[in-house]
Amino acid sequence: MFKYLIVFCLIGLLLIYLGNYFDLQREKISRKEYDRRIRFFILLIFIIIAALAYMRRR
């Protein structure tokens, strides 16, 4: 069960990243907006890692 949770989280994060990248390539968002979204994306990764580590220890 835990392995599936990690796989789904990784797939979800990959889709978010690719969506932001393609929006930048199609010029739907500015470079500044892209940088803001990537910073939020990195924060989201750290939160998920912390949550998974917490769940793993319990």
Is residue 8 within 8 Å of residue 52, measured between CB atoms? no
Which pLDDT score is estimated for 35?
Answer: 93
Is residue 37 within 8 Å of residue 29, measured between CB atoms? yes
* Least-confidence region, from 1-15, 16-30, 39-53: 1-15
Q: Note if the pTM is more than 0.85.
A: no
